[in-house]
Structure 1
Amino acid sequence: MKKLALALTMLPILSQGQTLEECQHAAEKNYPLIQQYGLIEKTTKLTVANIQKGWLPQVSASVQATYQSDVTAWPDEMKTMMNGMGIDMKGLAKDQYRVGIDVQQTIYDGGVIGSRKRIASEQGKVQSAQNEVNIYGVRKRVNEMFFGLLLIDEQIKLNNDLQTLLAGNESKLESMTKRGTAAESDLLSVKAERLNAVQKATDLASQKKMLQHMLSVFCGIEINNLQKPQVMDDGGSMVAESHRPELKVLDAQIGVLNAQEKALNTALMPKVGVFAQGFYGYPGLNMFEDMMNHKWSLNGIIGARVTWNIGALYTRKNDKAKLQLQRDMTESSREVFLFNNNLEQIQQRENMARYRKLMAHDGEIISLRRAVRKAAESKLAHGIIDVNDLVREINQENAACVQQTVHELEMLKEIYDNKYTTNN
């Protein structure tokens, strides 16, 4: 905790209150997942670079030692004839050795390497889009803390007004008590109500400190004051087109499937390459020489090779059908997301309309409650009502002010939640 507190004291202090957009951008930059953008890009580049190296010569080295139960040998009649001519035909030895190098170079691969590069690039786009989805979710968490902190700030202001009002009436009752025109119990009742307001203020200040601390850590900047957003045009009751990053993920997944479908064509193409083999050992390529002299020798082969594997034809139809099913599943996921997104927009816009209707009467209710409270103060001064009636009217006026604040902030939150829902 000490380290965290020290870190917060080192955060940049902004002279003016932070807007919601500033907090959102700061939180996105501060969120650890932001680092994955660079990591995904680097990983994708390395993967593509490794695939590209498929055009480089493929070199392999081998060392081999064997002992055979039988070897190629001259027929006994020919061996006897050769011995009669003074030629010693030893035949091949059963122990054989080879130290060699094989080199293969692809000349034409039918587009396999290119298709693998495209698939790797599209898969990188999927990872980047998914990371964007995770980071985008940070905005909703900022919204919750931001508007929660704004509500507490407004409640603290209204609580201060309530304390001021109660303190004024307490002062009046104190004078009336000294003159004998009010009972001491009335004074104590108002004083107790004021202390309740003080106690509530202490609780609100504690909540504000906690939420302010959380938002500061989340955004990576010191939060001092917040600027209340202006009421924006909510666009009426029309459902807006969604531009959520989740849709980019689905588009990227379709891109991978399209690249995989193109790769099916490359599996049917012939492959052309050249190769070279060289080895030092026994026996070599000159079999007759090695049958007469058991000596190690250098040997080599160079050539070209054309291969054409038509086995992919057997599964091509099923592979294409499988990819189409995956594409259909992705499109189905898109429809489900848009359906739920539209429902969420409808709910939010209905809530906006509801809060606007409620706000239309909040000002009038406050004016009426204030008038009733002032009348109650006058009645108490003339002994017409008791102090409990006055306290009730004061609390009802304060409750009306709190209600107006709640309605306004809840409507603002619905507007910005709707902005989050559509990413517009």
Structure 2
Amino acid sequence: MKKIMITLALIMMTTISQAQTLGECQQAAEKNYPLIKQYGLIAKTTQLTVKNIQKAWLPQLTASAQATYQSAVTAWPERMQTMYQQMGLNMKGLSKDQYKIGVDLQQTVYDGGSISNQRNIAQQEGKVQEAQTEANLYQVRQRVNEMYFSLLLLNEQIQLNEDVKTLLLSSENKLSAMVKGGTAATSDLDNVRAERLSVEQQNESLKQQKQMLQRMLSVFCGIEVNNIHKPEPIQVTSSASNRPEMRLYDSQLKLTEAKEKALDTQLRPKLGLFAQGYYGYPGLNMFEDMMNRKWSLNGIVGIKLSWNVSALYTHKNDKARLSAQREMIENAREVFLFNNKMEEIQQSENISRYQTMIKSDDEIIVLRTNVRKAAESKLAHGIIDINSLLREISNENAAKTQQTIHEIDMLKEMYHLKYTNNE
């Protein structure tokens, strides 16, 4: 039982202390960002729109009712009415108040491809919205990068300060012993102690900044970020073809193509069946209704061919407008690629610069460490004062801090370049 408990405890400790990588934070942030919900909404809206467009092939039924009073109606000439009366026929003529309750049924047989093109446009508009959402979500990576590498830099600075505090504490203990032995002044001990307290104070400030930034990153990612992992240096090839903005431009171009095809369908004739039926007065048999003012059932069925020639008036201008839109999209893509290339050049040059500086940082740190150790030895033999040692400790720490800043900045530029090219 004890072995089982120990095993479970080790597993829990491993889980708690497991470091979050940059990639894990990126994925978590994208899933947590509210904009991700738009993917499902866009897909649902597009699906419903396409279904509604497809229903245009179903019979279109219209119900209507009307009641009218006319100033004049169809009537028999007075001579004919007199003649009919002599024959014993009462020809009342149509009544001025007329009523109708009817149903109109339309069935499309051939629409020239209009419904199909409307469906394609709706689907392509959905793809454009999805690509736009993906491009907006892509910017989340940049924000995660900034917070992640800033947090890494704070961690490194806190660790360096801890190292300096250890050195100062060691010197403080040695001076304390020397003061007791009468070989060092109390002011030297106070000076070192004040410097150590100053470093501790600075460390507390850095830890508070880390806590704030860690909380921000946790909220942004939707996970508890408590132990980040320093990524390895990477090599990035130059390519922007996988960027979501490129897919957005492609989707926009396909949308203009779908709209252009839809313009051609407007020039084609349309063929359909129709049926009309109504119950009312007067009916289709007008002579009967002039004699007997009764409501009756009436119906018409037929086939209808229509051609809207007015579409020719704007066809040329509509084509030119879509062509201008296509050119604007192409221009936007060229501008994006140009700016992206400039960003790549800048990031690549920064990486090379940091790599060169890091090489010299190693040598500077070795030299500063040697000088600091020599100063400690000289202080022990009374050759230099405590201020000289503190200055060398500060110089060594500054060299290590500078190297850390260069390393973190180099890594940040590498991963910025990676996401610039969407690798």
Match of 1:111 in 2: 113
Q: Is the 8 A contact 2:240 2:420 kept in 1?
A: no
Deviation at 1:38, TM superposition (A): 1.3
Match of 1:212 in 2: 214
Deviation at 1:214, TM superposition (A): 1.3
Query: Relative to structure 1, is the Cα distance of residues 139 and 381 closer, same or farther in structure 2, using a 3 angstrom cutoff?
Result: same
Match of 1:30 among 29, 32, 35: 32
Match of 1:403 in 2: 402
Match of 2:233 among 196, 221, 231: 231
For 2:382 and 2:291, how far apart are their aligned partners in 1? 138
Correspondences of 1:242-253 after superposition (within 5 Å): 242-253=241-252
Match of 2:18 among 16, 19, 24: 16
Question: Where do 4+ consecutive residues of structure 1 move more than 6 Å?
Answer: none
Moved more, 77-86 or 383-392: 383-392
Match of 1:293 in 2: 292
For 1:52 and 1:14, how far apart are their aligned partners in 2? 54
Deviation at 1:277, TM superposition (A): 0.6
Deviation at 1:270, TM superposition (A): 0.8
For 1:241 and 1:64, how far apart are their aligned partners in 2? 65
For 1:121 and 1:95, how far apart are their aligned partners in 2? 51
For 2:16 and 2:259, how far apart are their aligned partners in 1? 50
Query: Relative to structure 1, is the Cα distance of residues 387 and 132 closer, same or farther in structure 2, using a 3 angstrom cutoff?
Result: same
Deviation at 1:233, TM superposition (A): 2.2
Report the secondary structure of 1:62's partner residue.
strand
Deviation at 1:15, TM superposition (A): 4.4
Match of 2:150 in 1: 148
Query: Relative to structure 1, is the Cα distance of residues 172 and 119 closer, same or farther in structure 2, using a 3 angstrom cutoff?
Result: same
Q: Is the 8 A contact 1:52 1:113 kept in 2?
A: yes
Deviation at 1:388, TM superposition (A): 1.0
Match of 2:3 in 1: none
For 1:128 and 1:286, how far apart are their aligned partners in 2? 59
Deviation at 1:343, TM superposition (A): 0.3
For 2:132 and 2:177, how far apart are their aligned partners in 1? 69
Report the secondary structure of 1:383's partner residue.
coil
For 2:359 and 2:167, how far apart are their aligned partners in 1? 26
Match of 1:84 in 2: 86
Match of 1:6 in 2: none
Q: Is the 8 A contact 1:143 1:413 kept in 2?
A: yes
Q: Is the 8 A contact 2:240 2:340 kept in 1?
A: no
* TM-score for the superposition, normalised by structure 2: 0.95
Match of 1:61 among 52, 60, 63: 63
Match of 1:187 among 183, 189, 192: 189
Query: Relative to structure 1, is the Cα distance of residues 285 and 420 closer, same or farther in structure 2, using a 3 angstrom cutoff?
Result: same
Q: Is the 8 A contact 1:242 1:421 kept in 2?
A: no
For 1:160 and 1:113, how far apart are their aligned partners in 2? 72
Correspondences of 1:264-279 after superposition (within 5 Å): 264-279=263-278
- Provide, for residues 319-367 of structure 1, a one-character-per-residue CA deviation record: whole Å limited to 9, x for no partner: 1111111100000000000000000000000100000000011111011
Deviation at 1:419, TM superposition (A): 0.7
Do structure 1's residue 165 and structure 2's residue 170 form an aligned pair? no
Deviation at 1:14, TM superposition (A): 5.0
Amino acid at match of 1:372: V
Query: Relative to structure 1, is the Cα distance of residues 393 and 234 closer, same or farther in structure 2, using a 3 angstrom cutoff?
Result: farther
* TM-score for the superposition, normalised by structure 1: 0.95
Q: Is the 8 A contact 1:269 1:308 kept in 2?
A: yes
Match of 1:314 in 2: 313
For 1:122 and 1:58, how far apart are their aligned partners in 2? 26
For 2:60 and 2:50, how far apart are their aligned partners in 1? 18
Task: Kindly tell me the number of residue pairs found equivalent between the two proteins.
Answer: 409
Unaligned regions of 5+ residues in structure 2, if any?
1-14
For 2:239 and 2:366, how far apart are their aligned partners in 1? 38
For 1:15 and 1:27, how far apart are their aligned partners in 2? 20
